Structure 1
Amino acid sequence: MKITAEMIKDLRQKTHAGMNECHKALQQTEGNIEKAIVFLREKGIIKAAQKQGRVTSEGITNIVFAGNNAFLYEINSETDFVSKNEHFQQLVKMLGEIILKKQLSNVKDLLAFNYQNKTVQELLFEKTSVLGENITLKRVLKVTKKPQESFGIYKHQGGRISVLVVLKNDCPSVSEDIAMHIAASKPQFLTPDKVDPTFLAEEKKILHKQAAKELSDKPAQMIEKIIENRLGKMLKDMCLSEQPFVKNADQKVKDYLKANNTDVVYYVRWEMGN
C-alpha cells in the first residue's frame, strides 16, 4: 500500500512522533493508522515523542579524534543522574564512534544517519523511552589540524567541560597542561591581536560611559589613559597568551609555551549547556 503524506501527517498529529518514525510505522502496518499507533507505542516512540519538548539542561560533552581530525559533541539529558547512567554513557560512546567513522560534523546529518537499520534520531528516541528523560544531541564540531601539529585534550568532571587544543608541533605534556589551563581559566581569545574588533569597540564604549560617571572631574587625557589601562587589564584576563599559567602564576602562558618551543594554533572550550 502506498503511504501518503496525508497519512503521515495524520499519524504525526495523533502521536507527535517524527516523520521517519510515522512513515516506518505505516509501512509496517500497511497504512492502518490505529495499528501504526500501537506499533509506535510498543517501540516506546510515542512516550519518547511526548518527552521531546522537555528541557535538557544536563549531559556530557566529549571529544574523539583520529589522524588529523577531531570532533567535539554534546549530548543532553534532563538530569545529572541520567547522564551518569550506563545506557547514557553507552550512547555517548556509540555516537562518538559513528561521528569519527563517518566524519559527521552536522547535527542534522548525524540524526538522519542510518546505523544498524535505525536512524540516530530513532536511537535517541529509544534511549528517551528507556531512561524516561528527553535525550538530545545538541551540537557537533569538527577540528582539522596540519600533519606537523598535535592535539591536546582535557575533560573535566566526566565531560562537563571538554577542551581541545591544537599545538604547532608535538608536545604531549604541554598540550595537556594548556588544555587543563583553558578548562580552568576560560580564556575568550587566543592573543590580544585576535580579539574581535566589534567586541573591543563595544567594551571601549562601555568603559567610556563608566569613566564619564566615575571620573568626570579628571582631565580628558587622564581619563583616556585610565580607560586604556582598564582595557589592558581586561584583555590580560581574557586572552590565553596573557593569562598567568595555572601551574605557575608567576609565568604567563605565552612564556610557558616559548620555554617549551611551541605555541597554540587553535583551541576550543565547551562547557555543558553553554
Structure 2
Amino acid sequence: MSVTAAMVKELRDKTGAGMMDCKKALAETNGDIEAAIDWLRAKGIAKADKKSGRTAAEGLIGIASAGTKAVVVEINSETDFVARNDAFQDLVRGVAAVALNTDGTVAGIGAASYPATSTTVGEAVTAAVATIGENLTLRRAALLSVEDGVVATYVHNAVADGLGKLGVLVALSSTGNKEALTAIGRQVAMHIAATNPLAIRSSEVDPAVAERERNVFIEQSRASGKPDNIIEKMVDGRMRKFFEEVALLSQAFVINPDLTVEAAVKAAEKEVGAPIEITGMARLLVGEGVEKEETDFAAEVAAVAKG
C-alpha cells in the first residue's frame, strides 16, 4: 500500500512525531494508522516528539579521558530532579565514553554507535526521553588531544565520577613527567572553572568581543569631557586591563594570586622536568546560554487538576 501525504499528516497530528518518522511508521505497518501509532509508541518516538518543544536547561556534564585525549559533553534535561536519576547518569556516562572515540562534534557523537545496543547515540537519547519522561538533548561537546602531554580534567561539584554541572578540559603539551603535569593541569582546570577566561592568550580573544569592549570604553571616556588624545590613552589602558582579565595566561592564578597562570605553569616546569605549553581549553556549564521558560507553577497545578 502506498503512503500518501494525507496519511502522514493524519498520523503526525495524532502523535506529534516528525514527518519522516510518520512516513516510516506507515510503511512498516502497511498504512494502518492505529498500528503506526503503536509502532511510534514502541520506538519511543511519539512520546519523545511531544516533549521536544519543552525547554531542556538542566542536566549534566559528562567527562571521559584517556591520557592524551579527553572529551566533555552536555546532555540537558527539563528538571534538576532527572539529573539525579541513575538511568540519566548512566546515559551521560555512556555518551561521554562513546564521544571519546569520535571527532568530538555533536553530529559525530550522535551518529556513533551506542554500546550494547543496535542504535546510535542520538537514537539512545531519543529512547531515553520515553523512559525517563522528559525532553533530553545532547547539546554541546568538546574534545581536546595532545601528541605528547596530558589533557587534564575537572568536574565542579561532581554528583558522581566524571559527572557534574560544570566540566573543564585543559590540554598541556610537554615531554615531562605526566603525573606532575596532570597535577598542574588540574589546578589550571580548576582556575578555568572559577574564572571562565575567553581565550588562552590575549591575542586569541575574539576581535568582535574586543571591539565591542573598546567602543564601550570610548563612550564612557568621552563622558569625562577630556580631549581625544587623552581619551585614546585612557581607552588603551582599559583595554590592556581587559585583556589581562579575560585571557587565561595573564589572569591572577586563583590558587596563588601572587602569580599569573603563565608564571605558575612556568614554575611547574621544574617539577615536570620539561617546558609546558597550554594548547587548548574547554569549559561547559549546564544550561549556559539557554533561555529558560518562565512558568506559572500554580497554573500548571490547576491545569493538571482539571485533567
Q: What is the TM-score normalised by the length of structure 1? A: 0.87
Per-residue deviation at 1:206? 1.5
Unaligned runs of 5+ in 1: none
Instruction: Report the counterpart of residue 271 of structure 1 in structure 2.
Output: 285
- Distance, in Å, in 2 between the alignment partners of 1:161 and 1:44 is 30
1:203 aligns with 2:213: yes
**CA 1:122–1:22: 2 relative to 1, 3 Å:** farther
Alignment check: 8 A CA contact 2:69 2:150 kept: no
- Distance, in Å, in 1 between the alignment partners of 2:134 and 2:252 is 42
Instruction: Please give the secondary structure, in 2, of the residue aligned with 1:96.
Output: helix
Aligned partner letter, 2:183: S
**CA 1:190–1:123: 2 relative to 1, 3 Å:** same
How well do the aligned residues superpose, as a CA RMSD in angstroms? 2.5
Instruction: Please give the secondary structure, in 1, of the residue aligned with 2:287.
Output: coil
Instruction: Report the counterpart of residue 191 of structure 2 in structure 1.
Output: 181
Aligned partner letter, 2:193: A
1:12 aligns with 2:12: yes
**CA 1:242–1:52: 2 relative to 1, 3 Å:** same
Alignment check: 8 A CA contact 1:162 1:269 kept: yes
Aligned partner letter, 2:55: V
- Distance, in Å, in 1 between the alignment partners of 2:233 and 2:119 is 63
- Distance, in Å, in 2 between the alignment partners of 1:221 and 1:27 is 74
- Distance, in Å, in 2 between the alignment partners of 1:113 and 1:4 is 32
**CA 1:193–1:110: 2 relative to 1, 3 Å:** closer
Match for 2:165 among 160, 174, 181?
160
Aligned partner letter, 1:88: F
Unaligned runs of 5+ in 2: 159-163, 270-275, 289-307
Instruction: Please give the secondary structure, in 1, of the residue aligned with 2:241.
Output: helix
Per-residue deviation at 1:19? 5.3
Per-residue deviation at 1:225? 2.6
Alignment check: 8 A CA contact 1:153 1:165 kept: yes
Aligned partner letter, 1:193: S
Per-residue deviation at 1:142? 2.9
- Distance, in Å, in 2 between the alignment partners of 1:19 and 1:106 is 26
Alignment check: 8 A CA contact 2:251 2:261 kept: yes
Per-residue deviation at 1:192? 2.0
- Distance, in Å, in 1 between the alignment partners of 2:45 and 2:208 is 46
| Number of equivalenced pairs | 270
- Distance, in Å, in 1 between the alignment partners of 2:278 and 2:252 is 15
Instruction: Report the counterpart of residue 35 of structure 1 in structure 2.
Output: 35
- Distance, in Å, in 2 between the alignment partners of 1:6 and 1:107 is 34
Instruction: Report the counterpart of residue 251 of structure 2 in structure 1.
Output: 243
Larger mean Cα displacement after TM superposition, 84-93 or 193-202: 193-202
Larger mean Cα displacement after TM superposition, 5-14 or 169-178: 5-14
Alignment check: 8 A CA contact 2:68 2:148 kept: no
Instruction: Report the counterpart of residue 105 of structure 1 in structure 2.
Output: 104
Instruction: Please give the secondary structure, in 2, of the residue aligned with 1:37.
Output: helix
Instruction: Report the counterpart of residue 121 of structure 2 in structure 1.
Output: 120
Identity %: 38
Per-residue deviation at 1:4? 6.9
